[in-house]
C-alpha cells in the first residue's frame, strides 16, 4: 500500500518484533520498492525469541551472510537504535552491527522503548522524521 502513495519519502519505523518482521520481509524480497529510510527500534535478540513461549524458533539468523545485503537493498538509509538495558536484547545491540554492516545507536537507559517504561511521545523521533539526522533520535 505504501507504494501506491505518490510523493514524499517512504519511511518505515519498526519496533521490537516489527524489526524482525521487516528484516525477514527484506530477506524474502517482499517489498516492491526500496524505502528511503528505515528505523529499527529495540530489535530483539533472536536467541530470546527461541526461549519465548508461543514462538517456535527464531526466523531471523544474524549469521546469514545475505542479511546485510538484503536490508540495504530495501533501505536506502538504515538506522538501528536500542538501549543499553533492554531485557529483550541481553547480548546488546552490538550483535546487529556485523549482521547489518552498520553501527547501531545506543540510547542509555531506554529499556525496550515501551509505554510501561515511560515511553510515549518521543520528540527525537518526530525530529528524525523531519530531518533524517540519526542524532536527533537521542533526544527524549
Which homologous superfamily is 9-138 in?
Alpha/Beta hydrolase fold, catalytic domain (3.40.50.1820)
Return the minimum-mean-pLDDT range out of 57-66, 86-95, 108-117.
57-66
The C-alpha cell of 33 is what? 520498492
Domain ranges within the chain, ordered by starting residue: 9-138
Q: What is the pTM of this model?
A: 0.93
Specify the pLDDT at position 128: 98
Bridge partners (DSSP) of residue 13 are 39
Mean pLDDT (whole number) for 93-110: 97
Average pLDDT across the chain, whole number: 93
Query: Cα separation of 34 and 68, whole Å?
Result: 14
Instruction: Please give the biggest Cα pair distance in the chain.
Output: 42
**Is the per-residue pLDDT at 24 higher than 90?**
yes
Query: Cα separation of 112 and 25, whole Å?
Result: 22
- Which has the closest alpha carbon to 23: 41, 50, 48, 9? 41
Q: Burial level of 32, CB count in 10 A (0-12/13-18/19+)? A: exposed
Mean pLDDT (whole number) for 98-127: 96
40-87 pLDDT, tens per residue? 999 999 988 877 777 776 779 999 999 999 999 999 999 999 999 999
Mean pLDDT (whole number) for 115-119: 92
The C-alpha cell of 61 is what? 539468523
Amino acid at each position: 500500500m505504501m507504494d501506491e502513495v505518490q510523493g514524499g519519502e517512504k519511511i518505515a519505523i519498526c519496533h521490537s518484533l516489527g524489526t524482525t518482521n521487516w528484516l525477514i520481509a527484506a530477506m524474502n524480497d517482499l517489498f516492491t520498492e526500496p524505502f528511503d529510510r528505515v528505523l529499527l527500534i529495540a530489535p530483539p535478540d533472536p536467541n530470546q525469541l527461541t526461549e519465548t513461549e508461543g514462538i517456535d524458533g527464531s526466523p531471523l539468523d544474524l549469521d546469514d551472510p545475505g542479511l546485510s545485503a538484503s536490508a540495504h537493498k530495501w533501505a536506502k538509509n538504515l538506522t538501528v537504535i536500542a538501549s543499553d538495558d533492554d531485557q529483550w536484547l541481553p547480548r546488546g545491540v552490538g550483535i546487529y552491527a556485523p549482521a547489518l554492516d552498520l553501527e547501531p545507536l545506543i540510547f542509555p537507559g531506554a529499556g525496550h522503548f515501551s509505554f510501561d517504561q515511560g515511553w510515549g511521545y518521543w520528540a527525537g523521533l518526530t525530529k528524525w522524521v523531519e530531518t533524517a539526522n540519526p542524532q536527533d533520535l537521542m533526544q527524549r
